[in-house]
Amino acid sequence: METLMVDCVQSSLRQFMNRNAIFLCERLCAEFPSELNSQLLASCYLHNNQAYCAYHILKGTQLAQSRYLFAISCFQMDLLSEAEAALCPSNETGSEVPNGAAGHYLLGLVYRYTDRRKSAVDHFKQALLIDPLLWAAYEELCTLGAADEASGVFGESAALSIQHQSMYHGSDSQHVQTAIEDRSVLAGRTLGPEEANSRQLKHVHGNSLRDLPVSHHGAAIGVGASSQPLNGGSSTMSVYSTPSPMPSQFSTVAPPPLCRNGQPNMNILGGESSPKSTVNTTIQAPRRKFVDEGKLRKVSGRLFPDSGPRRSTRLAAEAASAASSNSTQGGNGISHSSAKFLGGGSSSRLSSASFRSVTVRKGQSWASESLDDGDDRCLERERGSMQIGGLTPNGSRVTNGVSELLSLLRTLGEGYRLSCLYRCQDALDAYRKLSHKQYNTGWVLSQVGRAHFELVDYLEADHAFILARRATPYSLDGMDIYSTVLYHLKEEMKLSYLAQDLILTDRLAPQSWCAIGNCYSLQKDHETALKNFQRAVHLNSRFPYAHTLCGHEYVALEDYENGIKSYQSALKIDTRHYNSWYGLGMVYLRQEKFEFAEHHFRRAFQINQRSSVIMCYLGMALHALKRNDEALEMMEKAIIADRKNPLPMYHKANILASLERFDEALENLEELKESAPHESSVYALMGRIYKRCNLPAKAMLHYGLALDLKPSAADTAVIKSAMEKLHVPDELEDSL
């Protein structure tokens, strides 16, 4: 009965019938109370996004797998200290982290979000040593700016590790299978067919419950929660009933059902899914990981407006045939774990072959079974010949598969690493080495769009994100960045359409509400924009970009205190989120706290040393601190970093004018007029310089040109005031 109930629970999970699985598993735990069955019940609740239930079920349990599942539930409930205690019991010095690579990865996330960067890096690296294919750990290392070159991580040592583990687990699977078959034959001779079949079935499930929660690398096989992937910054929160701040122009769209669009991995405790993808969907730490807003939104103020391992088809067919021929047993007695490695590998083929040989024998009458030693020796010779004949070709296939997969990960990993270091052109060059099939996937195209965004090439970024949407219209990864691209391009209609489309796809994703917030920010409705960004924070408090966008809106509303709090909240999640360092610098610059401004701009610059905007504002802070030589040097770097950005050239001219190097200043401004002919501030500055050079006619001309370009009301008042005082000496003007 216990085995039957376990089968029913697992079947319900595979068919996404979570409530049915929970009901049956509760009956199972009531009838057969054990920690293993409690694990299964907790897993059912995790599948159903009820981490708090799993938390109470597993609290105080001791088995490694129980502690891992308990830690996952704690992580989802933001109980990070309890998650750490479960993974590293204080009373067990030197104890191993449960679940191998997956456990180290989860512990790394706990350390990351409790601001212990070094420990986080150590555990992410340890996870990769155990499982070189745990891509999520490499992503986190890139986000932390601590990743080694991909060629080293996914190189020869990784290949040897994977092949060694494949051979080890293949051999282990073969020994386990042989033992099961021998026990079945012996039981059949002693007990009779029906009782033997029942005994074998119970034995197999007893082993699978102990072994299958841990994958080949020690990662959990399936504790997934319904959500989006980790590298998309997804939310682990349940359905919220917070009121929607969307005004009337979005109300024409029928509200979608309150459910997430992602699909959980339901192959729990015996499924055939990749352990890496399972851990990602379970833990859901946002990276944000990771590539953030890029060039900052209001850069110029008033001056310049702004695959899982696949089994061979042949092997699958053989397994199906074997299962069919043995249908009277109610179960084939084979652990699927041996087939999870890179095309099945040699162990999968050997297991299938051995099973076929036993099945033929079981198809005969048990009464006529010969008991002499000759049959046993024949069977052993048969098994030995199959091992020798089957190992070499499959071993070669494993080697080739490992080589091809690691080559792909090296290219993807290097591109992502360079992108996180903001070496965006190098990242684009790396992604171009991918095959056509791999390049034209949603994830890669989103990364390409992010890279162009950081390079302030918004048109190319728009094009890349359009292709990403076409490739994976259901994915929200990078859509927060895409909405900011459209914000900068002032594409109000496209941005509105994107926001509505994202809400229809998943109304519980922070990216959807970031897009809506950008819609209202573009319309200068900062209060409504702020409400939408706050909803994004509510849905996923570990999404740093949402905190940063809240900070931008608070600053636009001149609520600097809350703006500072929002930026600091983003930095608690991701200390390399340079946008928030920049935002803090802007607040202090406006408050004329120039030393604080210089410190925060410099922190942003240390993270992203290729941003012309950050260099420019750092130069402005240095100029305000009377460190003009450093300011001019920084402006020169900003000009070289982005020739199309007019801001650093303007401020360089302003610094030169303050140093009374008027000829150099005018030369810079004449060059700037060629690239930015419609900027009224350029002509206004030229008018001021000509006045100081005692050339009132030229000054009046340039003031007039500035007014013709229809500047803002505040700038218009300043220019008119300067025109009225044109004939007043500078010394007298300063005293007025």
Q: Please tell me the predicted confidence (pLDDT) of residue 260.
A: 39
Q: Helix, strand, or coil here: 661? A: coil
Q: How confident is the model at residue 476 (pLDDT cuts 50, 70, 90)?
A: very high
Averaged pLDDT, 495-518: 96
| Cβ–Cβ < 8 Å for 174, 352 | no
Distance CA 654, CA 682 (A): 10
The more confident residue out of 212 and 526 is 526
Averaged pLDDT, 304-316: 39
Q: How confident is the model at residue 628 (pLDDT cuts 50, 70, 90)?
A: very high
| Cβ–Cβ < 8 Å for 608, 453 | no
Q: How confident is the model at residue 203 (pLDDT cuts 50, 70, 90)?
A: very low
Helical residues (DSSP H) of 574-627, grouped into ranges: 578-590, 594-607, 612-624
Tokens standing for residue 256: 């979608």
Tokens standing for residue 734: 């300063």
Question: Among 76, 147, 177, 166, which residue's Cα sits nearest to residue 416?
Answer: 147
Q: How confident is the model at residue 730 (pLDDT cuts 50, 70, 90)?
A: low
- Give the list of residues 6+ apart from residue 379 with CB closer than 8 angstroms, or none: 357, 361
Q: Please tell me the predicted confidence (pLDDT) of residue 410.
A: 94
Averaged pLDDT, 356-372: 36
Q: Which residue matches tokens 């490499």?
A: 138
Q: Please tell me the predicted confidence (pLDDT) of residue 619.
A: 96
Q: Please tell me the predicted confidence (pLDDT) of residue 396.
A: 77
Question: Among 122, 468, 446, which residue's Cα sits nearest to residue 288?
Answer: 446
Q: How confident is the model at residue 524 (pLDDT cuts 50, 70, 90)?
A: very high
pTM as predicted? 0.69
Residue 598 has pLDDT above 70, yes or no: yes
Residue 662 has pLDDT above 50, yes or no: yes
Q: How confident is the model at residue 733 (pLDDT cuts 50, 70, 90)?
A: low
Q: Please tell me the predicted confidence (pLDDT) of residue 90.
A: 65
Contacts 24+ apart (CB under 8 A), 715-720: 715/302, 715/680, 715/681, 715/684, 718/684, 719/680, 719/684, 719/687
For the chain, give the mean pLDDT: 76
Taking only the tens place, the pLDDT of each residue in 23-58 is 999 999 999 999 999 999 999 999 999 999 999 999
Tokens standing for residue 604: 């942003």
Q: Of 373-387, 397-411, 500-514, where does the model show the most confidence?
A: 500-514
Q: Helix, strand, or coil here: 97? A: coil
The more confident residue out of 673 and 489 is 489
Q: Helix, strand, or coil here: 494? A: helix
Residue 237 has pLDDT above 80, yes or no: no
Out of 38-42, 134-138, 389-393, 601-605, pick the least confident: 389-393
Residue 411 has pLDDT above 80, yes or no: yes
Q: Please tell me the predicted confidence (pLDDT) of residue 643.
A: 86
Beta strands of 154-212 (E only): which ranges?
A: none
Contacts 24+ apart (CB under 8 A), 534-538: 535/242, 535/244, 535/245, 536/510, 536/511, 536/512, 537/510, 537/569, 538/237, 538/240, 538/242
Residue 399 has pLDDT above 50, yes or no: yes
Q: Please tell me the predicted confidence (pLDDT) of residue 572.
A: 93
The more confident residue out of 278 and 95 is 95
Question: Among 711, 709, 654, which residue's Cα sits nearest to residue 685?
Answer: 654
Q: Please tell me the predicted confidence (pLDDT) of residue 179.
A: 40
DSSP string covering 345-369: HHHHHHHHHHHHHHHHHHHS-GGG-
Residue 639 has pLDDT above 90, yes or no: yes
CATH number given to 1-166? 1.25.40.10
Residue 692 has pLDDT above 50, yes or no: yes
Tokens standing for residue 85: 């205690």
DSSP H or E run through 164: helix 156-191
Out of 144-153, 228-237, 713-722, pick the least confident: 228-237
Question: Among 301, 366, 197, which residue's Cα sits nearest to residue 647?
Answer: 301
The more confident residue out of 169 and 3 is 3
Q: What are phi and psi of 19, to 5 degrees?
A: -65, -40
The 3-state secondary structure of 489-551, one letter per residue: HCCHHHHHHHHHHHHHHCCCCHHHHHHHHHHHHHCCCHHHHHHHHHHHHHHCCCCHHHHHHHH
Q: Please tell me the predicted confidence (pLDDT) of residue 211.
A: 34
Q: How confident is the model at residue 400 (pLDDT cuts 50, 70, 90)?
A: confident
Question: Among 338, 358, 336, which residue's Cα sits nearest to residue 347?
Answer: 338
Residue 253 has pLDDT above 90, yes or no: no
Taking only the tens place, the pLDDT of each residue in 480-498 is 999 999 999 999 999 999 9
Q: Please tell me the predicted confidence (pLDDT) of residue 163.
A: 80
Averaged pLDDT, 659-672: 91
Helices 612-624 & 594-607, crossing angle to 10 degrees? Answer: 160
The more confident residue out of 192 and 401 is 401
Q: How confident is the model at residue 569 (pLDDT cuts 50, 70, 90)?
A: very high
How many residues in total does the chain contain? Answer: 736
Q: What are phi and psi of 214, to 5 degrees?
A: -110, 130
Distance CA 719, CA 691 (A): 13
Q: Please tell me the predicted confidence (pLDDT) of residue 395.
A: 67
Tokens standing for residue 619: 């130069």
Domains of the chain by residue range: 1-166, 678-735
The more confident residue out of 274 and 102 is 102
CA 526 vs CA 221, 242, 289, 335, 530: distances in Å: 45, 20, 26, 58, 6
CA 363 vs CA 186, 193, 374: distances in Å: 15, 11, 19
Q: How confident is the model at residue 460 (pLDDT cuts 50, 70, 90)?
A: very high
Q: Please tell me the predicted confidence (pLDDT) of residue 727.
A: 75
Burial 712-727 (b: 16+ CB within 10 A, else e): eeebeebbeebbeeee
